[in-house]
Structure 1
Amino acid sequence: MLRLSSIIGYVFLSLVILSIYSCGNRKELVYFQSDSTLLKNTFELSVPKLQTGDILAISVNADDVRATAPFNPISPYQGSTGNIQTSSIFVPTYTIDIDGNIDFPMIGEVKLEGLTRTEAIDYLRKKVQVYINQPRISLEIRNFKVTVLGEVNNPGSFPVTNDRITILEALGLAGDLTINGVRNNILVIREINGKKDEIRIDLTKRESLNSPAYYLMQNDVVYVEPNNARIQSSKYTQNTSIFVSIAGLIITIIAVIVK
């Protein structure tokens, strides 16, 4: 029969092998590892452009408030008694249609598709100043959001209030990758004018900072795939703990017998 020391040795060896197998490789975990890649300044080239289907909140302001009334609809709301108690100014929204236009008050159709937010503001200001002296335009993209899925700590969709967001900021909103997330093959799914595109990015390399997916666009989806350890662990069922308990019991019985 097996000696107790032999059994303990087998168990210890199995644990060592398991721990070695499960340990992550540094090259698989560390972001932006040193290499000779030259980083490019793509900031100005990565400003999101307005697209068909974008929802824009636009308001017009000026020193003469009454002159802006045609551009800023007023919405009366009902009080608890059913009477109109007051009026509240809200920011109207406009959806860019399939032809790239919005229907703006007093002006009519205005083509904004393909413009950046800043360019759209300047363009609308020129249109509005025909009616108002020195108008100020506020424009916000209401449907600018990114979605992060997969092996992150807090997956979900996140609204973006700035003109742009980097993939690092999006992953930060999602709580960063889990230890089981594959860092060298992150997928970004991007749709522009109805056409979907897939971009792969390797965050373990500095060259990822030059990727066209480094700056995300509205409605981008970022997917982090699981590593082999996560895939293997998903094959286990709830009965695994029972099997482990039975194996422990068998080892204990053998240990008692061989004493």
Structure 2
Amino acid sequence: MKKILTSTTLLISVLTLFMSCASKDKYVYYQNAEQVLLRDSLDSTKFETKLRPDDLLMIIVSAEDIKAAEPFNLMSTMTTNPDNPAGNRQLQQQLYLIDSNGNIDFPVLGTLKLGGLSKNDAVSMLKNKISAYISNPIINMRIMNFKVTVQGEVNRPGVHSINSERLTLSEALALSGDLTIYGRRSNVLIIREVNGQRIPIRVDMTKADFMTSPYYYLNQNDIVYVEPNKTRVNSSSVGPNISVGLSALSLLVTIIALATK
């Protein structure tokens, strides 16, 4: 009876060890960070947000002469109390929607093509055009609907809207509570729209090389998908059976132990 008890205990230990074994290299981020970042720091390209169709822009034009700048600002009047149309009213800045052709309709200047430009280039273009009407205009531009979607093996999947226009892949995953233990860190998928086409990109987050690539910073409307690893895939069919088996073996060991007393 003791031999049966010993064999059963050994079998449980082997199964548990087999299930818990995992390579460190599959789970640790940025494993070659020192070599890559020190080597490539001087060659890293500067990140710039590119404007694209469906971006909502807030554009504010200001100048020393406030009255002169007013025609270049889209403003609307709204009541502070919708239930009382005669109540207090205030001005609200309207937003510009970049259409499918990359254009916006701008006061005084008419149709402007901003799609494909970096935000800095768009600001420079507006400043040059408005300078023909007023002296030393100041242009403030902001993307109001910058968001990314994170799905798959993360703790809190969802759509993340951010106030900044500079979001890294690491930050997006952190907003989602990081990857679960079942997420494939070596094969994170980014789906990015480029010139109207959705392009899939694979990123290995266990290596620091991606931190100097064009995919370290996310673009607005990027989709990030974390694939499940083999353990998660196998557990959908095999895992529950193993768990039931281990539970049954544990119960059997307990019964045998009680019976031998």
TM range (shorter): 0.7 to 0.9
In structure 2, distance between residues paired with 1:4 and 1:130 = 96
Tell me which residue corresponds to 1:223. 225
In structure 1, distance between residues paired with 2:90 and 2:18 = 65
Q: Tell me, what secondary structure is at the counterpart of 2:93?
A: coil
Residue 34 of structure 1: how far off its partner (Å): 2.7
Residue 256 of structure 1: how far off its partner (Å): 4.1
Tell me which residue corresponds to 1:39. 40
In structure 2, distance between residues paired with 1:239 and 1:14 = 14
Which moves more between the two structures, 63-72 or 48-57? 63-72
Which moves more between the two structures, 236-245 or 249-258? 236-245
Q: Tell me, what secondary structure is at the counterpart of 2:40?
A: coil
Tell me which residue corresponds to 1:103. 105
Alignment of 1:90-169 (within 5 A): 90-169=92-171
Residue 101 of structure 1: how far off its partner (Å): 1.1
Which moves more between the two structures, 32-41 or 149-158? 32-41
Tell me which residue corresponds to 2:215. 213
Letter in 2 for 1:23: C
Alignment CA distance shift 1:81-1:148 (3 Å): closer
Tell me if the contact between 1:51 and 1:192 (Cα under 8 Å) persists in the aligned partners. no
Alignment CA distance shift 1:80-1:100 (3 Å): closer
Which moves more between the two structures, 23-32 or 156-165? 156-165
Letter in 2 for 1:198: P
Which moves more between the two structures, 14-23 or 176-185? 14-23
Letter in 2 for 1:185: N
Letter in 2 for 1:94: Y
Residues 114-160 of structure 1 deviation map (CA, whole Å, 9 limit, x = unaligned)? 11111111211222233333222121112211111111122211123
Which moves more between the two structures, 156-165 or 92-101? 156-165
Tell me if the contact between 2:8 and 2:249 (Cα under 8 Å) persists in the aligned partners. no
Residue 245 of structure 1: how far off its partner (Å): 5.3
Q: Tell me, what secondary structure is at the counterpart of 1:184?
A: strand
Tell me if the contact between 1:47 and 1:163 (Cα under 8 Å) persists in the aligned partners. no
Cα RMSD after superposing both structures: 2.7
Tell me if the contact between 1:78 and 1:84 (Cα under 8 Å) persists in the aligned partners. no
Residues 155-192 of structure 1 deviation map (CA, whole Å, 9 limit, x = unaligned)? 21112333322111211222221222111111100012
* Structure 1: runs of 5+ lacking an equivalent: none
Letter in 2 for 1:29: Y
Residue 19 of structure 1: how far off its partner (Å): 2.4
In structure 1, distance between residues paired with 2:254 and 2:113 = 78
TM-score between both structures, scaled by the size of structure 2:
0.85
Letter in 2 for 1:31: Y
Q: In the alignment, does 2:91 pair up with 1:89? A: yes
Tell me which residue corresponds to 1:22. 20
Tell me if the contact between 1:121 and 1:138 (Cα under 8 Å) persists in the aligned partners. yes
Tell me if the contact between 2:56 and 2:145 (Cα under 8 Å) persists in the aligned partners. yes
* Structure 2: runs of 5+ lacking an equivalent: none
Residue 200 of structure 1: how far off its partner (Å): 0.5
Tell me which residue corresponds to 1:64. 65
Alignment CA distance shift 1:11-1:209 (3 Å): same
Residue 217 of structure 1: how far off its partner (Å): 0.9
In structure 2, distance between residues paired with 1:6 and 1:87 = 85
TM-score between both structures, scaled by the size of structure 1:
0.86
Letter in 2 for 1:112: L
In structure 2, distance between residues paired with 1:87 and 1:221 = 40
Letter in 1 for 2:117: L
Q: Tell me, what secondary structure is at the counterpart of 1:56?
A: strand
Residue 68 of structure 1: how far off its partner (Å): 2.9
Alignment CA distance shift 1:39-1:256 (3 Å): same
Q: Tell me, what secondary structure is at the counterpart of 1:188?
A: strand
Which moves more between the two structures, 32-41 or 183-192? 32-41
Tell me if the contact between 1:39 and 1:209 (Cα under 8 Å) persists in the aligned partners. no
